[in-house]
Structure 1
Amino acid sequence: MSPRSVFSPYVRLFAVPGSAWFSFAGWLARLPMPILGLGAVLLVEGATGSYAVAGAVAGTLALAGSLVSPQWARAMDRRGQGAVLRVAFTGYLFFGVSFVAAVVLGAPQWSWFVLAGLTGACGPNVGSAVRSRWAHALDADTRQTAFAFESVVDEVVFVVGPPLVTLLATLINPPVGFLTGVVIGFLGGTWLSRLRDTEPPVHRVDDGVPRRRSALGNVTVVLVAVVYLAVGAVFGAMDVVVVAYAQAEGAPALAGLALAVYALGSLVAGLVYGVIRLPGSLAARYIGCAVFFAVAAQLLLAVDSLVSLVAVGFVAGLAIAPVLVSGMSLVESRVARSALTEALTWVVTGLTLGVTVGSAVSGAAVDAWGAETAFAVPAAAAGLAGVLAVAGARWLRSAGGPVAELPQDGTVRIEHRAVG
């Protein structure tokens, strides 16, 4: 079988009118994901010399985004993506530039935390918005391929972003790396907001109909989000520990390369996962992928040089896309269309909350134990993700069922979907 025929499902995705444009615009809008976190670490550490402070500021940015992004998503489900994205990314640009100015000009440190938090709060989860567009346009059989493709898009972001911000920050100036991410995100988000033809339909609120509960009322959403909290802690810890380890080894510019290779492993796995059909239910696949993620990350404990870090990072990265795609697919199969953007965003909120915890804990671990020993933080967080997934298996199996959808005329229909 030729590579062309193996990956033909990805080619067929772009037969959907406008799909190439909304996917690429979404990629640009997501490019700041690794740039802002890593850029904040490089910027603040350069100004203070403290990884603890740098990790705390980066964690604040991620925490604010994780708390507010579900509200942006809820607004997109009800008011449309275009208007909400324009408002959000305008604030994103303003507060991002203000944060850099505060650090560079030596403003009080408390203002750094405030402005970093406001920048994060103005960053809606674009990946969920793009996945909602795919879900609106495709049938159930094709969505796994689309979700896998978007996971690959995420990983391309993490392949390109870390080397870009590291080179800009180390070879030019630390503020340049962070500012580049803010500007690219603003341009991508604004472009996506203008692609109105591919937006999913708006689910307006009727005053005569009881208000829809938050997507957090769905057991599957909560269980996957909790596991993703631990997965996100791995990502947040890796940003800080890898930068610290590369600096300790005397090659700070290689931090971006090591993180890019970590993401490259996920990219490869995501491409493969999108075209194969594993046996078992969606829930069983998700749990298996979470356990694989937990086991693969234990290789980080063997890191003893930059060469071994790159090799181990690639292998550990192979487990990232499968656990993310399987979890997103499981959630998508068990929520109503009118709450899909919000549900996917709550899942990603678990990731970003975990990034906050991972950044803060790993920053303190680096200062206390040294960079090499601090690899225990992402390894432990990955192990916890596997344990939590297995522990929630019983509830996942009992949570499947038909999805109640509330149309705009107020009547209720039951939309039956394949559930794992």
Structure 2
Amino acid sequence: MARKRENTVSPRTLFGPYLRLFAVPGSASFSLAGWVGRLPAPMLGLGAVLLVEGETGSYGLAGAVSGALALTYAIAGPQWARAMDRRGQGPVLRIAMVALALSGVAFVAAVSAGAPRWSWFLLAALTGAAAPNIGSMVRARWSALLDRDGRQTAFAFEAVADEVVFVLGPPLVTLLATLLAPPVGFLTGIVFGVVGGLWLAAQRDTEPPLHPVDATAPRRRRSVVTPALLVVTVTYLAVGGLFGAIDVVVIGFAEEEGAQALAGLVLAVFAGGSLVAGLVYGLARLPSTLAARFVGTAVAFGLAGQLLWGVTSLPVLIGCGFLAGLTIAPVLVSGTSLVESRVAPGVLTESLAWTITGLTVGVTAGSAIAGAAVDAWGAEQAFAVPAVAAAVAGLLSLLGAPLLRSRVPDGPPVRGERVDTGAQG
């Protein structure tokens, strides 16, 4: 009996690395605020698809409008992040939240009133441009407060928080749009974003230190663009392609099956698999380098995505979605950890934002291509789009692997490249 007790690991011991994160003063508050502020990530793109498709009946147009929102989000994100590195998160966030509220309401009004379709694209683009990447801000706060092992555990936790958002967001926006009215889902996402952003902006004590522009410092741009950032961002283009395509194809497939209201639940299953994998990955002890982990998880993501070729019904889609979702959090956490380990001082938020830019540009392309594929081939055949995107992600990581062994001559030192003990990210 004594031996049995000795071999028993309590939940407190098992999840100790996560519990220690929140012993840091202010960490629970800024992490929760960041979680609320991230709810628009799954809600606005999907909400735009539901809103536009409900008005026009065209998935192609809906995917294109949603893609315009994602594209400007991708372009503007690093610019917001650069401003925050220089001037602080609070002041910049307040400006962004006002712009997000105004542009989001204007977009819904234009679509609902049947305004010219060019105005839909314009206002969707403005909405995306007004939404800074909240996740990179939260990760920057963790990085400023924690040591190497703590940062990796925090990044794993934030990947899980991302997946909780994607578990709750899609079914919520789908139910609101289908049971109440299409505009309600999109507007709810706007409200969450503004509330979370302003809440995070109010927490000044945990903001990362400012790094004002030094006019005499040479080659600043080179300190941002590292081989690791390039490889991760390019790979994330394809990862985002799967994300964007899945939203559109699943909605179309659920409608073909006569159960559109279940589309959000199906998307939540993908995120549920990722959530489980993120929790496990954050606690695992992995002796390999961050670069090797990134390539390995990206290849696993590419292989798992091929399960989508076999989708023939909603139950099959749910099973394939959960299995494919198990590979999402690991590739996102490993990529973020790799970029953070090689970042230069003063550009952390911007560097992390560029990885999100890769994802969201991929979402733009994936949603537009998938929308056209659903209209042309039908939803079942259109699962080819996310499956191919996943395969491309794995291939790009393999092609970029040699660059991950290189160093920029005047670039930042590698921080924590090999981590043999402690919770991993």
Task: Identify the residue that residue 86 of structure 1 maps to in structure 2.
Answer: 94
CA positional deviation for 1:208: 4.0
Shift of 1:286: 0.5
Residue 263 of structure 1 is matched in structure 2 by 271
Tell me, in whole angstroms, the C-alpha distance in 2 between the residues paired with 1:176 and 1:399: 49
Alignment of 1:13-412 (within 5 A): 13-210=21-218, 212-213=220-221, 216-399=224-407, 404=412
Q: 1:353: Cα distance to partner?
A: 0.2
SS in 2 for 1:90: helix
Candidates 414, 417, 420, aligned match of 2:415: 417
- Which amino acid is the alignment partner of residue 348 of structure 2? L
Q: Which amino acid aligns with 1:200?
A: P
d(CA) in 2 for partners of 1:401 and 1:192? 37
Question: Which whole-Å CA distance do the structure 1 matches of 2:132 and 2:357 have between them?
Answer: 10
Of 307-316 and 227-236, the range deviating more from structure 2: 307-316
Q: Check conservation: 1:152, 1:271, Cα contact below 8 A.
A: yes
1:19 partner letter: S
Contact 2:45–2:70, Cα closer than 8 Å, also in 1: yes
How far the C-alpha of 1:3 sits from its partner, in A, is: 2.8
Aligned partners of 1:216 and 1:222 also within 8 Å = no
1:337, 1:267 → 2: CA distance? Answer: 31
Q: 1:416 to 1:396 in 2, by over 3 A?
A: closer
* Structure 2: gaps spanning 5 or more residues: 1-8, 419-425
Report deviation, 1:397. 1.1
What code does the residue aligned with 1:240 have? V
Counterpart residue identity of residue 273, structure 2: G
- Partners of 1:350 and 1:217 lie apart in 2 by 13
Query: Helix, strand or coil for the counterpart of 2:111?
Result: helix
TM-score, normalised relative to structure 1: 0.96
- Aligned to 1:296, the other structure's residue is in SS state helix
Residues 220, 44 of structure 1: CA spacing in aligned structure 2 closer, same or farther, 3 A cutoff? same
Q: Distance in 1 between matches of 2:97 and 2:47?
A: 18
Query: Could you tell me how far 1:216 is from its partner in structure 2?
Result: 4.7
- Counterpart of 1:205, as a letter, is V
CA offset digits 1:116-174 (Å, max 9, x no partner):
00000001011000000000000011111100000000000000000000000000000
1:214 Cα deviation after fit: 5.7
Shift of 1:215: 5.3
Residue type at the aligned position of 1:173: A
Q: RMSD between aligned alpha carbons?
A: 1.3
Give me the whole-angstrom Cα distance separating, in 2, the residues matched to 1:142 and 1:316: 28
Distance (Å, rounded) in 2 between the aligned partners of 1:5 and 1:297: 34
Provide the residue aligned with 1:410 in structure 2.
none
8 Å CA contact 2:223–2:344 kept in 1: the answer is no
Whole-Å Cα distance in 1 between the matches of residues 216 and 208 of structure 2?
23
Tell me by how many angstroms 1:218 deviates: 1.3
**Which residue is equivalent to 1:412?**
none
Structure 1: gaps of 5 or more residues: 405-414
- Distance in structure 2 (CA, Å) of the matches to 1:324 and 1:209: 32
Whether the 8 Å contact between 2:137 and 2:349 is mirrored in structure 1 is yes
Identity of aligned residues (%): 65
Instruction: State the alpha-carbon separation in 1 of the partners of residues 379 and 407 from structure 2.
Output: 42
* Count of residues in Structure 1 that have an aligned counterpart in Structure 2: 410
User: Secondary structure at 1:135's aligned position in 2?
Assistant: helix
Aligned residue in 1 for 2:6: none
What's the secondary structure of 2:332's corresponding residue?
A: helix
Distance 2:400 2:11 in 1: 37
Q: In structure 1, what is the Cα distance between the partners aligned to 2:287 and 2:369? A: 38
Answer whether contact 1:334 1:401 (CA < 8 A) is retained: no
Distance 1:208 1:336 in 2: 17
Measure, in 2, the Cα distance between the counterparts of 1:331 and 1:400.
13
